[in-house]
Chains A and B, each alone.
Chain A
Amino acid sequence: MSRVFKLKSSDNETFEVEEAAALLSETIKSSSSTEITVPNVKAEILGKVVEWCNKHAESEDTKDQLIKEWDAEFVSVDQHVLFKLITAADYLQIKELVDQLTQRVGDMIKAKTLKTVEMTYPTFNVEREVQEELKSLGF
């Protein structure tokens, strides 16, 4: 008989999560209670994290192509949502989700054609350009 966990968002919405999905979070795993409040994370975001956990709990094989496609869809969100998801996943210590999200950010940074930097030392002449580029990505 699996336990049911209750996750509460910062705006007081509660999500019920099955044990298998919930235990993907190290924070929940090491928590003594089945009711966990996630500070600074709103329902919209927490809901998505729960959705991810549910998906990953039900699929045995994470190398499955379908799951990969689902994951790719999942992380294709705008930068603001992306960062909020990272914060939530980090708080809940869901390693694989954090990895997927940071990989996505990394890809976005790489994809943007950045001006070649000479790797100058000690000052970086292209500082402003790099900042502009990263800003234009929405960061």
Chain B
Amino acid sequence: MNSDSVFSTLPDDVVLNLFSKLEDDPRNWARLACACTKFASLIRNVCWKTKCRNVLPSDLVSAASSSEPPGGWSSLHKLAVCCPGLLHSGVLFENSDFGLERELGPDESYRPQSQSQSEPSSSSSSQIHQPPPPASDCAWSLYDDLYFDTVYDESESDAAVAAPENENENGGVSVGGEFRIQKRRKICRSMRSHLASGVWNLSREQGNKLLHSRFRGDCLYICDWPGCVHIEEKRNYMLFRGVFKDFKGSQVWRNIKDAKRTKVDLNCAYCACKQTWDLHSAFCLRRGFGYHDDGEPVVRAYVCDNGHVSGAWTDLPLYA
């Protein structure tokens, strides 16, 4: 839109009046903010800011401070209304090794024969691996029999590691090259962030339910339960998002720093942070949640430098 378009003749308060008519669907403002710098400026600095102040808990968005929250008002607003999607809540991460490869590094005694190797059992570092027989792709373990039984199609396993590159061609998103995706899934739009179902608000109570009791003092605001529910083949995911008030001043942050945790290559859905911390591995979450049999954690959560949290609950396994 060039500068001599009709909109440039209108005073700001009229433009804001127009924007207020488009408030009901958050995507309207997001689209308008793309149109030109004047719109972007008005929407960021007035619309999103006012919306946050009106909708979010007042102690999270203190009216006294005029400065922007970390990540800006656009991030906070997006957090209120957008589900992180399966991608940003970490559901698409490889987890069937209980996250061991991320924690301990790749298993040194085992080298994949070729690009096509992807079975999760390759990273159970506690087992002794023989060199894989030439006929098959990889050594099998008990987990594979259970896991691949109904889920896996043999032909898909070949494609899984190559998937990160292919995803790009399919118009999806490029996940960090290190990570293997469990089976070949096109990362379509619905797996990225999208408007959340449910009420668009955050509360501290939900935050307290998530964190380990020793972080009781931290102010974590999470969206209402059950968040945005995604029904997948294996199980249902209740995706949530939230934010720490003053993350850098929190005990969780100190814990992460002291333990010298490393970040994971999962970018935040809400701001420019390319990496986040895994709160589950950092023992920041309530104890007792555990894992499902296939290695998937019952609850997972990731936090970025700005204190934005994305994660997923699953139903507790029926059997112990």
Rounded to whole Å, the gap between the CB of B210 and the closest CB of chain A is 24
A106 and B82 contact, CB distance less than 8 A: no
Query: Which single residue of chain B is at the shortest CB-CB distance from A123?
Result: B272
Q: In whole angstroms, how far apart are the Cα atoms of A124 and B6 in the complex?
A: 22
Binds B, one of A10-18, A58-66, A127-135: A127-135
B17 and A131 contact, CB distance less than 8 A: no
Quick one: which of A79, A105, A116, A121 contacts B18, CB cutoff 8 A?
A: A105
Quick one: which of A83, A103, A124 contacts B34, CB cutoff 8 A?
A: A124
B282 within 8 A of A: no
A139 and B6 contact, CB distance less than 8 A: yes
The proximity string for A residues 95-109 relative to B, scoring 1 for CB distances below 8 Å and 0 otherwise, is 000110011011101
Quick one: which of B21, B27, B32, B270 contacts A116, CB cutoff 8 A?
A: B27
Quick one: which of A87, A99, A109, A122 contacts B28, CB cutoff 8 A?
A: A109
Once A90-B11, A131-B1 are accepted as A-B contacts, the answer to whether A106 and B18 lie under 8 Å apart by CB is: yes
Quick one: which of B18, B26, B32, B75 contacts A102, CB cutoff 8 A?
A: B18
Q: How many residues of A contact B (CB 8 A)?
A: 31
B1 and A134 contact, CB distance less than 8 A: yes
B283 CB contacts on chain A under 8 angstroms: none
A106 and B21 contact, CB distance less than 8 A: yes
Q: In whole angstroms, how far apart are the Cα atoms of A12 and B33 in the complex?
A: 39
The proximity string for A residues 16-42 relative to B, scoring 1 for CB distances below 8 Å and 0 otherwise, is 000000000000000000000000000
B34 and A117 contact, CB distance less than 8 A: yes
| Residue from B14, B25, B26 whose CB has the most chain A CB atoms within 10 Å | B14
Q: In whole angstroms, how far apart are the Cα atoms of A34 and B28 in the complex?
A: 42
A83 and B6 contact, CB distance less than 8 A: yes
Rounded to whole Å, the gap between the CB of B168 and the closest CB of chain A is 14
B189 within 8 A of A: yes
- The main secondary structure of chain B at its interface with chain A is helix
| Residue from B10, B40, B189 whose CB has the most chain A CB atoms within 10 Å | B10
Q: In whole angstroms, how far apart are the Cα atoms of A85 and B139 in the complex?
A: 75
B189 and A116 contact, CB distance less than 8 A: yes
Q: How many residues of B contact A (CB 8 A)?
A: 37
B36 within 8 A of A: yes
A117 and B27 contact, CB distance less than 8 A: yes
Quick one: which of A99, A102, A119 contacts B82, CB cutoff 8 A?
A: A119
Q: In whole angstroms, how far apart are the Cα atoms of A79 and B56 in the complex?
A: 36
B193 and A110 contact, CB distance less than 8 A: no
Once A83-B10, A130-B31 are accepted as A-B contacts, the answer to whether A135 and B193 lie under 8 Å apart by CB is: no
Once A102-B21, A131-B1, A134-B1 are accepted as A-B contacts, the answer to whether A117 and B30 lie under 8 Å apart by CB is: yes
Interface set, chain B 12-49, CB cutoff 8 A to A: 14, 17-18, 21-22, 25-28, 30-36, 40
Q: 23 pairs across A/B with beta carbons < 8 Å?
A: A80-B6, A83-B10, A86-B14, A87-B9, A90-B10, A90-B14, A102-B14, A103-B21, A105-B21, A114-B27, A117-B27, A118-B189, A121-B71, A121-B272, A122-B271, A124-B30, A124-B40, A126-B34, A127-B35, A134-B1, A139-B5, A139-B6, A139-B7
Please list the residues of chain B having a beta carbon within 8 angstroms of any beta carbon in chain A.
1, 5-7, 9-11, 14, 17-18, 21-22, 25-28, 30-36, 40, 71-72, 74-75, 78, 82, 189, 192-194, 270-272
Pick the 5 closest A-B CB pairs, nearest first.
Answer: A106-B21, A130-B34, A124-B34, A119-B30, A102-B18
Please list the residues of chain A having a beta carbon within 8 angstroms of any beta carbon in chain B.
79-80, 83, 86-87, 90, 98-99, 102-103, 105-107, 109-110, 114-119, 121-122, 124, 126-127, 130-131, 134-135, 139
A114-B31, A116-B27, A139-B7 are known; give 19 further A-B pairs, CB within 8 A.
A79-B6, A83-B6, A86-B10, A86-B14, A87-B9, A99-B17, A103-B21, A105-B21, A110-B25, A114-B27, A118-B193, A119-B26, A119-B193, A121-B71, A122-B272, A124-B34, A124-B40, A130-B32, A139-B1
